[in-house]
Amino acid sequence: MKKSISDEIRDAVMFSVQLDTTQDISVQDQYSIILRYVNYKGIQERLLAVITVQQSTGKSFSDMLQGVLADNGLDVMKCIGNATDGAANMQGQFNEFSAWLEKSTPNQVHVWCYSHILNLVIIDSTKSPLKAAALFVTLNDLANYFKELYKRMNVWVNFVGENNKKRLQSIGSTQWWSKEVALKHIFGSDGMYIDVILVLNSIENSNGFTSGARLKAKTFKNSILDYSTILTAFIYIRIFNIVGPLSKYLQSKGMDLLKCQEMVCAAIKDLKLIQRDMSGVKVMAKRFIDTMSEKLESIETENLDIVIETELPINRSRKRKILSGEKNNDEPIIDPEMKFTVEVHNLILDNTIASMEKKFSKNQILYTDFACLSPVNFEDINKRNFPPNALVELTNKIKRFDERITRDSLQNELLSFASNWNELKKSVPESYKVVTFNEIQDEDVENKTMNKSHCKSCMNCSICCYLVLQKYNLYSNAYSHLTMAYKYLLTLPCTQVACERSFSILKYLKNRLRSTLNESKLEAFMIMSIEKDTLFKINTDEVIDQLKTKSNLLSRELSY
C-alpha cells in the first residue's frame, strides 16, 4: 500500500509536507505526515505515514520526516515547504523543526497553518475587554449548567422538547467553531433566547432546586437580559459573519494558498469597514430586543415579569482631586454609550484587526509575487505595470528546479499568458473535479461522495490557469517556466487540517479494543482507511500471489 502511494509522488517535480502531532489521552502520541503535490488530476493530498513520537524536539521531528521520505524513495530536496501549527518546537527560527528542515532543503517555506492562526485571532479578540471575556464565559457556563444535573435538563426538555438541535453549545479549546455556534444558538435570528430565559426563570422560581442552583439561574438570566451583554453579542455576531465563512473555507478541500490569502485580505478589509460603526450594532440590537420583547408579551404565563434592558446604566464617575496648580487634561467619559463604544466596541475590533494583520503577515513578499499569477490581476499585467522587484522572490524559489529560469523569462511568459488568457479560457469545460485526500476520506462504502473542488471553472483563479496550461499542452515549451511557478503555488500548503482529520480516523482505529496495536499495523490500517481510492485499485490476485510465497501453509490454503 505504501509503495502504491509513494509511486504516485516519486515522479512529482515538487511536494510539500503537512505535519501535526496528537497528544490525546486515548492514544499514544502520534506524528502524522501528509504530502501535498500537483499532477494532471489537480491538487493531491496523501497520508504518507503515522509514526509514534519518540521525542518532541524540532530536530527529532526533522529527522523522522527525512527518514520517512527516504524509506519511500522521495528526495527531500523536492520538498518546497511545510505547514504546521504554531507550536514553539515547530516554527522556531534557530533550533526547531522548520530551521532543521531548511538545513537539509534550503529555501523551503514554513507556512503557519491559516486555520490555527484564525483560531488564535478569535481567542485573542475574546479575551479583552472584560465584557467580551464575560460574554463567552457566561455562554459556556450556561451550557454546562444544564448538563450538570438531569433535573435541570428535564426542565429544559419540558420547554424546548426532545429536538437535538435545541441544545446549547459549550465552548471547547479545540473546537474552532464553538464560540460562533454558542453565540448564535442564543442571540442568532433563530436562536433560543426566549427559551433560555423561560427555563432560567422557571428554575429560579421553583422550590425543587437548591438555593445555589436558583441563584445561578437568576444570575444567568440577568446577564443575558443586560443591554451591554446584548450589544457585545452583536459586535461578535458581526465579526463572525465575516470570519466565519473564511474559517470554514480554510478547513475545506482543494484550495490554494493564493485564494486563501485573498480571502484573508478581504476579511480584514470588511472588518475595517465596521471598525467604527457602533451605530450598526445598536440597530441590530434594537431589532433583536423589539422582536424578543414581542414574543415575551405574547406568552400567556402568570407572574412572568421579565423586561429586556434597552439602555446602558449611568454609573457615577469618580473625579480625581486636582492639586493646586495642576491641570487635568484627562476628562472622564460620562456618557455610557460613548464609554461602551470606546472601551468595548472599538477595542474588540481594533484587537481583531491588529491580530489578523500581524499573524498573517509572514512570507508577504512571496505572496505578493503569487498575486501576479492570479487572473484577477491580469489586466494590470497587460499594462506592463510590473514593479522592479516583482517575481524576484518567486524566481529564486523555483530556480533550483530549472536553472534556466530567470526573472525576465518568467515575466515574459506571464505577460504573454495574461494577454492570451481571454482566448485560452473559452474552451475549458464548465466543471471539473480535483480529487483530494479529504474528499477520499469522506467516501462511504459505495464510493459516491467525490466532492467537487471549490472552483467550477471560475476562470478567475490559479487552479484554472494550471488546468488550461495542461489541457493545451502549453507547459512543455510555450510556458514551461510559468507552469513551474503555478505548480509551486498550488503545491505550497496553507493549512494542515488534513492532519487533524487523520487523527479523527486514528481514534476509531486505535480504541480500547485495539489498545496493543503496534505501530506498523496501525500505520497500515490508517493508510488503507484514508487512501481508499488507492486501495481499491490494488489487484487482489497479486496480493494473494505474494502471500502464497510467505509459507507453504499459505500456499496450500490460498491455492484453488
Q: How does DSSP assign 268-292, residue by residue? A: HHHHHHTTT-HHHHHHHHHHHHHHH
Q: What is the pLDDT of residues 316-355, one digit of tens each?
A: 766 667 767 766 666 678 888 999 999 999 999 999 999 9
- Residue 452 confidence (pLDDT): 37
- The helix (run of H) or strand (run of E) holding residue 367 is helix 364-371
**Overall residue count recorded for the chain in this entry:** 560
Higher pLDDT, 326 or 485: 485
Return the closest-CA partner of residue 246 out of 481, 464, 495, 65.
Answer: 495
The answer to whether 65 and 19 have CB atoms below 8 angstroms apart is yes
Neighbour-count burial of 396, counting CB atoms closer than 10 A to its CB (0-12 exposed, 13-18 middle, 19+ buried): middle
The rounded distance, in Å, linking the Cα atoms of 363 and 358 is: 12
Q: What is the pLDDT of residues 493-525, one digit of tens each?
A: 888 888 877 877 877 887 777 777 777 888 888
Higher pLDDT, 292 or 389: 292
Average pLDDT over residues 280-309: 87
Average pLDDT over residues 167-180: 82
Q: What is the pLDDT of residues 457-471, one digit of tens each?
A: 577 788 888 888 888
Higher pLDDT, 54 or 480: 480
Residue 332 has what DSSP assignment?
P
The rounded distance, in Å, linking the Cα atoms of 189 and 240 is: 14
Percent of the chain with pLDDT over 70: 87
- Grid cell of 322 as nine digits: 486636582
- Residue 190 confidence (pLDDT): 85
26-40, 77-91, 366-380: segment of lowest average pLDDT? 26-40
User: Does 21 have pLDDT greater than 50?
Assistant: yes
Q: What is the dihedral of CA 386, 388, 389, 390, to 10 degrees?
A: 10
| Residues forming beta bridges with residue 39, ordered by sequence position | 42
Q: Model confidence at 28, in pLDDT bands (50, 70, 90)?
A: low
What is the maximum alpha-carbon separation in the chain? 108
User: Does 554 have pLDDT greater than 80?
Assistant: yes
Indicate left, alpha or beta for 16 from its phi (over 0: left) and psi (-120 to 50: alpha): beta
Q: What is the pLDDT of residues 411-470, one digit of tens each?
A: 999 999 999 888 888 754 444 444 443 443 443 333 333 333 445 557 778 888 888 888
Percent of the chain with pLDDT over 90: 29
- Residue 449 confidence (pLDDT): 31
Higher pLDDT, 205 or 477: 205
Q: How does DSSP assign 153-213, residue by residue? A: HHHHHHHH-S-TTS-PPPP-SS-TTHHHHHHHHHHSTT--HHHHHHHHHHHHT-TTS-HHH
Q: Model confidence at 7, in pLDDT bands (50, 70, 90)?
A: low
Q: How many C-beta atoms lie closer than 10 Å to residue 418's C-beta?
A: 22
The answer to whether 174 and 22 have CB atoms below 8 angstroms apart is no
The rounded distance, in Å, linking the Cα atoms of 256 and 254 is: 7
Question: Side chain identity at 353, as an amino acid letter?
Answer: I
pTM: 0.81
The rounded distance, in Å, linking the Cα atoms of 360 and 16 is: 20
- Residue 433 confidence (pLDDT): 45
User: Does 263 have pLDDT greater than 50?
Assistant: yes
| Residues forming beta bridges with residue 83, ordered by sequence position | 18, 111
The answer to whether 103 and 81 have CB atoms below 8 angstroms apart is no
Higher pLDDT, 21 or 61: 61
Average pLDDT over residues 168-177: 79
Residue 72 has what DSSP assignment?
T
- Grid cell of 427 as nine digits: 474552451
- Residue 447 confidence (pLDDT): 35
Q: Model confidence at 237, in pLDDT bands (50, 70, 90)?
A: very high
